[in-house]
Structure 1
Amino acid sequence: MTAALFAAALAGPGVAEPGWTDLVGEARASLGRGDGIAAEVSLQRALGAGAPRAAVAAYMGEAYLVQGEPEKARDWLAPEEFTRETAAWGFRKLAQLERETGDLLAAGRAFDEAMAITPRDASMWVEIGRLRYIGGEHMLANDAADYALKLEPGNVRALEFKAQFVRDQQGLAAALPWFERALRQAPRDVDVLGEYAATLGDLGRAKKMLETTRLMLSIEPGHPLAYYLQAVLAARAGKAELARGLFARAGDKLDKVPAAQLLEGVLEMQAGNYVLAAEALSRLNRLQPANARARLLLAQAYARRGENRLLIHDFATEAARPEASPYLMALVARAYEAEGRRDLAAPLLDRAAFARRPDFVPVVIGSEFGGLLAAGRIDEARAASAAKLAANPGSGFNQAIAGDLMLAGGDASGALAHYRLAAHVRFSESLMLRMALAATQAGQAPQAKALVSGFLAANPADRMAMRMMAGAAVETQDWRRARELLEALRVNGGGDDVRLLVDLSRVQLRGGDAKAAEATARAAYALQRGSPLATEAWGFSLQALGQPARAQALLDKSASMLAGT
């Protein structure tokens, strides 16, 4: 109320106070600009000018939502006391409140009330679609997006939502026309521009991405997402200091965004600030404990700052697993050595030296079924999965889990059928890997290759797809294509992957470039002297360069390690 009195005082004597309907109009304009505080002031003035509570409740609730104060918003929205003119909006804001506070059923009920009043509002159907997506009703969410566009083909929010769906389903390139359609309707919409810029960046279209982020900053100076995207672009170009400066300009508004936390960790690592890197990566690990890349970087940060006991405490169990990364095994082993536990270090170093990464990652099983599978109770796991699938067949997650269980039980064709349904929702890297594995096991190797090739065409920066297509190129002795893919992987973050460097050296050698093969193999050997594969690759490259004595010494060493002597 103090703010409202202060605002009224500024009007000065002799200036008529606007009517309450005009003040509500001012509040709505402020909300359209995202200014919840100004909207609250106008609405308090409207109440002072005689506005009924029901006439301002929907907008006051929205003002508090914009300010990030859900409890105050609830005071205005939860009673559901709105005027006839504001009821639909009030129920939509109540649905937003319930969604943001985690009560999806209550959000659905509020949307039902709004739908009964305005059943053909395209923007509301977008909100319903987003609620369905969060609730796991993925195919129904897509239906809502399509219905919104049927109602209003030029609706910006509907076009943006559809673009996000297409990006998940069909890949990055297919989403661009949808984002561009949205921008033709609203060229200065910073939300759409941000999604468009991020998609351009993932496609490797750096110049266009930079132009788009600069436009965002011209519209909304200081926009944190624009600076974050520019920081990503600089980091990809190897300009670490520029990236850190741009990231700092984003401020603390992205502190809870996982991708931003990962970038912060990477940039601090590159700058040698291992304590700060560990702090950022620890926050991310708490949010996303299954993020393998973040966990590996966190382990590296611990190692670089000499936190050996912490490294062992947090990662020893993970390093002992059969599917553990060779790099993680080596980090934990070195930590054991530093603590004087060579008895524990030696087995890990041996495993790291001989580790070969599988062509396909292990099948991902939902944690609720993992225990049943580990106990050999696959029929019980399948029954539980079938019940969830029957309750919500439109969930991409439920379809994928059903496929996982079929694949684990040896039914590759059945798994593939479920995976294809899941891909209608989101064709992710993980799903691509599982589909390729299922197709291969079902005797459909050409289809598996075509699937990976199509995924790479839609997502040209995807590392796993590039790795797999490099392997396919090796099978057909297309050394130029294999080298092109492997060198791209090396430049973009694969410089410390020993197996990648070994494979690249072999491809360079088979392609007739012994000098490049020797340099690459030498780099792999420097990273892991105990690797028989790196040792062998260096030996073969020296042999091709006409240095038989050095080559033979390395080949003998590799053979000795492989023989276990």
Structure 2
Amino acid sequence: MMVGRGTWGRAALVSALLVLCPLTGSGESRGQEPVAPFALIGEARAALARGDGIAAEMKLRAALGNGAPRGEVAAWMGEAYLAQGQLAKARSWLEEGGFAPGSAARGWRALARLEQLSGHFEAGQAAFAKARALTPDDPELWVEMGRLDYVRGAHMEAIAAADHALELGPHNARALQFKGQLVRDRYGLAGALPWFEKGIMAAPSDVSLLLDYAATLGDLGRAAQTVTVTRRVLELMPGNAQAYYLQAVIAARAGNFELARSLLTHTEGQLDMVPGVQQLRGVAELALGNPQTAIEAFEAVLRQRPDSRRTKDLLARAIYEAGQLRFATMRFGPDIARDEASPYLLTQVARAYEVLGNRQKAGELLDRAARPAQAQLRVVGRGGPIGRLLAEGQGRAAERAAEAMRQDRPGFFDSQALAGDVQLALGHPAAAQERYALATRVRMPPGLFRRRVEAFLLAGDPKGAQGLVQGYLDQSPQSRSALRAAAGLAMASGDYLRARAILTWLRDNGGTRDVRLLCDLALVETGLGHTQEAREAAQAAYRLQRSSPDAAQALGFALAVSEEAPGTARALLAKARSMVGETPLIAEGEALLDDVPNAG
């Protein structure tokens, strides 16, 4: 249950009411029969099943007031406080144990979840061991144990726990949901749907399952189905913030930012600490012409994810559009000094310097933005000792350390992925692929997918790369990383029609400001003989970033092929050569211009 300011306010109100009002069944309740404490505990359990920790707390306090022993209440009160996000209060009820026999297993499970939330994984495992001794065949206990394993990095143990939970309870909603989540991480979106659907068949009113199902449908691009499922959630739990957020995402993807903003207001601050929510809020406000509000949202994201380059780019745009030019130069000074700024960010700050009259500084930043992107290996744990060894050029030492970690923790995703990164950095793509394949038994995020494609190509295995890309697209057909890889493979094989179809879709669905994408599209259009379309795509790229050598050579080549403005074409190709040196595209473009009069 997500906790925000609204929940805190409700909790404070509940506490006040409990102090000021007589408890049910107390001597002050005139003419009312006292409610049996165990009936109140049952009502509290029902409230917990609905996810209402506050109502559960009220019922449990009433039970205590009616004579229920602490041991009968402790496990459930701990769960109630966990549902409210009040970890310290939960600990006061759970840490000492002393649970009644009928609720002891739930108490130890609640304590284990508390320790997990507190980052005390070993203590969590110890608490789960006590619960397991009492209820070894409870599928939901195995789900919770698997979740702890996943969080602490023991991913293969988590997968084994999920499978065992399903053996114990083939129709258990929590077991089916956990399996679906693992399949989504491991194989992709489409493969997860059957598991969520089985869970919903077993528990049609399970809000948590419905939300997972809706989010997966949304990521697959099935907007109408997502909206239908979220409406069902709101019928079951009016005001559910996650449902409104998913609807807002769908609205924003459709370009209806006014509706997206309106839907976000219905979350009533409950999800304000979720970076994705703030990012969506910032994008909507920026699109609606409210850059100052967007700035606040993007800064909130960066407080939690300080290294998010995408958010920094959006923040730079918002600051520029707000007219805070001096602030733009100061806000991103450290990123620029550390050479961590993206070309887009450098360009935005350069524009600010230019308006402020500092053309020299603007030119320096534009030159940096125009540098060809260096292929940099994004190493898992690159801030750790192995990443530092690679950065320092100590490849063999990095390899020894990575292999030792891999042997010590073979079931951990990071161990296998990092070992693969080291092998790829050392120029051993086959060995890298072997380790990456083991990592993908757990999950294959976009970064690992791109590195696997790179490893196949470095090994001279385009068919392997094609199979990987197609398999990824079968599960996640709207993955931009996979679609870009598919377009690249199609271009390399001369299948320009397929490349054009993919690149056009990407451009029309969020890629209108992607300079590299537009350059690739221009080259594909040229290959198909569509000279006007090639010129338009290249001109769009060049307008976005005149200092880009990719855009300069793409436009120069497009003009050379069309034999229009040969003088401009020569100038653009020369400009690109001055930045990146000779390239096959520049050489081909200049060869085409050799017999063309220098006019235009």
State the TM-score, normalizing by the size of structure 1.
0.93
Amino acid at match of 1:561: K
Structure 1 residue 362: Cα displacement: 4.6
- RMSD over aligned Cα atoms: 2.4
Paired residue for 1:443?
460
The answer to whether the 8 A contact 2:560-2:569 is kept is no
Alignment match of 1:490 (pick from 501, 507, 515):
507
Which residue does 2:574 correspond to in 1?
560
Alpha-carbon contact 2:74-2:93 (below 8 Å) kept: yes
* Whole-angstrom CA distance in 2 between matches of 1:453 and 1:323: 33
1:342 aligns with 2:359: yes
Distance 1:3 1:119 in 2: 44
Partners of 1:361 and 1:433 within 8 A in 2: no
Superimposed CA distance per residue, residues 6-62 of structure 1 (whole angstroms, 9 cap, x where no aligned partner): 444699433321222222222222222222233223222322332221111111111
Equivalent residue in structure 2 for 1:515, among 532, 544, 547: 532
Q: Secondary structure at the match of 1:367?
A: coil
Does the alignment pair 1:216 with 2:215? no
Instruction: Check 1:55–1:506 CA distance in 2 against 1; reply closer, same or farther (3 A cut).
Output: same
Return the offset for 1:495: 0.8
Q: Is residue 367 from structure 1 mapped to residue 373 from structure 2 by the alignment?
A: no
SS in 1 for 2:270: coil
Map Cα deviations across residues 357-401 of structure 1 (whole Å, 9 max, x no partner): 75x865555210332222233333334334433332211011111
- 2:281–2:294: 8 Å Cα contact kept in structure 1? yes
- Residues 420 and 434, structure 2, Cα contact 8 Å, conserved in 1: yes
Q: Which moved more, 1:142-151 or 1:326-335?
A: 326-335
Cα separation, partners in 2 of 1:124 and 1:364, compared to 1, 3 Å? closer
Among candidates 532, 551, 563, match of residue 565 of structure 2: 551
Structure 1 residue 295 and structure 2 residue 309: aligned? no
Q: CA distance change for structure 1 residues 273 and 74 in 2, over 3 Å: closer, same or farther?
A: same
Name the counterpart of 1:230. 247
Distance across 2 between alignment mates of 1:294 and 1:386 = 35
Q: Give the secondary structure class of the aligned counterpart of 1:564.
A: helix
Contact preservation (8 Å) 1:326, 1:355 = no
| 2:176 paired with 1:159 | yes
In the alignment, the residues of structure 2 paired with residue 204 and residue 401 of structure 1 have an alpha-carbon distance, to the nearest angstrom, of 32
Query: What amino acid is the match of 2:332?
Result: F
> 1:469: which partner in 2?
486
Cα distance between partner residues in 2 of 1:188 and 1:111: 28
Instruction: Give the deviation of 1:123 after TM superposition.
Output: 0.4
Q: Deviations over 1:178-202 (max 9, x none)?
A: 1111111112211111111111111
Q: 1: CA distance between counterparts of 2:312 and 2:184?
A: 27
Equivalent residues in 2 for 1:209-358, closer than 5 Å: 209-316=226-333, 318-319=335-336, 325-353=342-370, 355=372
CA distance in 2, matches of 1:412, 1:541: 35
The 3 A distance-change label for structure 1 pair 10 and 377 is: farther
Aligned-partner Cα distance in 2 for 1:211–1:74: 39
CA distance in structure 2 between the aligned counterparts of 1:530 and 1:27, rounded to whole angstroms = 65
Q: Distance in 1 between matches of 2:188 and 2:91?
A: 39
Contact 1:539 1:551 in 2 (8 A): no
Unaligned runs of 5+ in 2: 1-17, 580-600
**Is residue 141 of structure 1 aligned with residue 176 of structure 2?**
no
**1:323-356 Cα distance to aligned partner (Å, 9 max, x none):** 8532222123223334544333323312433535
Partner residue of 2:58?
41
Distance 1:489 1:10 in 2: 70
2:219 to 199, 202, 212: 202
Q: How many angstroms does 1:543 deviate by?
A: 6.2
CA–CA distance in structure 1, aligned partners of residues 544 and 37 of structure 2 = 72
Post-superposition CA distance 1:493-534 (Å, at most 9, x none): 211112211221222233243333333233223222344543
* 1:231 shift after superposition: 1.2
Displacement of 1:133: 0.5
Distance 2:573 2:558 in 1: 16
Q: CA offset at residue 432 of structure 1? A: 0.8
Give the counterpart letter for 2:234 in structure 1.
L
Alignment of 1:86 with 2:100, yes or no, is no
The residue that corresponds to 2:68 in the other structure is 51
Decide whether the 8 Å contact of 1:365 with 1:404 is kept in 2. Answer: no
Change (3 A) 1:4 1:76: farther
Q: Secondary structure at the match of 2:205?
A: coil
Counterpart CA distance in 1 for 2:203 and 2:288 is 40
Residue-by-residue CA offset, 1:52-106 (whole Å, 9 max, x unaligned): 2111111111122222222121111111111111111111111111111221111
CA–CA distance in 2 between the matches of 1:103 and 1:314? 37
Query: Which position in structure 2 is the counterpart of 1:14?
Result: 31
Which segment drifts farther, 432-441 or 368-377?
368-377
Does structure 2 conserve the Cα–Cα contact (< 8 Å) formed by 1:538 and 1:551?
no
The C-alpha deviation readout for 1:295-324, integer Å capped at 9, x for no partner, is 221222223223444434443454467785
Deviations 1:140-183 (A, max 9, x none): 00111000000000010110000011111111111111111111
- Sort the Cα spacing of 1:356 and 1:382 in 2 relative to 1 into closer, same or farther, 3 A: closer
Contact 1:436–1:448 (CA<8 Å) still a contact in 2? Answer: yes
State the secondary structure of the residue aligned to 1:187.
Answer: coil
481-490 or 11-20, which deviates more: 11-20
1:74 aligns with 2:91: yes
One-letter amino acid of the structure 1 residue matched with residue 438 of structure 2: L
Structure 1 residues 469 and 455: alpha-carbon distance in aligned structure 2, compared to 1, 3 A threshold: same
1:281: Cα distance to partner?
1.3
Between the two proteins, the alignment pairs up a number of residues equal to: 561
* Native 8 Å contact 1:197 1:209 kept in 2: yes
What amino acid does structure 2 have at the position aligned with 1:173? A
**In the alignment, does 2:119 pair up with 1:105?**
no
Letter of the structure 2 residue corresponding to residue 554 of structure 1: T
1:117 deviates by 0.6
Work out whether residues 356 and 499 of structure 1, in 8 Å CA contact, stay in contact via their aligned partners in 2. Answer: no
Moved more, 270-279 or 129-138: 270-279
Quick check: 2:23–2:62 contact (8 Å CA) kept in 1?
Answer: no
Deviates more, 1:303-312 or 1:534-543: 534-543
Partner-residue secondary structure (3-state), 1:87? helix
How many percent of aligned residue pairs carry the same amino acid? 46
**Which stretch of the first structure deviates more once superposed, 309-318 or 228-237?**
309-318
Q: Quick check: 2:553–2:576 contact (8 Å CA) kept in 1?
A: no
Equivalent residue, structure 2, for 1:534: 551
Question: Counterparts of 2:266 and 2:117 in 1: how far apart (Å)?
Answer: 27
Farther-moved stretch of structure 1 (99-108 vs 301-310): 301-310
Deviation at 1:536, TM superposition (A): 4.6
Find the aligned partners of 1:530 and 1:553 in 2 and give their Cα distance: 19
Closer, same or farther in 2 for the Cα pair 1:11/1:427, shift >3 Å? farther
Q: Which residue of 2 aligns with 1:190?
A: 207
Q: Secondary structure at the match of 1:85?
A: helix
Q: Tell me, what secondary structure is at the counterpart of 1:255?
A: coil
CA contact (8 A) 1:316 1:332 kept: no
- For 2:382, the aligned partner's letter is G
Distance 2:179 2:223 in 1: 24
459 and 442 in structure 1: CA distance in 2 versus 1, 3 angstrom threshold: same
Give unpaired runs (5+ residues) of structure 1.
Answer: none
2:298–2:314 contact (8 Å) kept in structure 1 = yes
The normalised TM-score by structure 2 is 0.88
How far has the Cα of 1:210 moved from its partner?
A: 1.7
Partners of 2:445 and 2:158 lie apart in 1 by 18
| Range with greater deviation from structure 2 (316-325 or 80-89) | 316-325
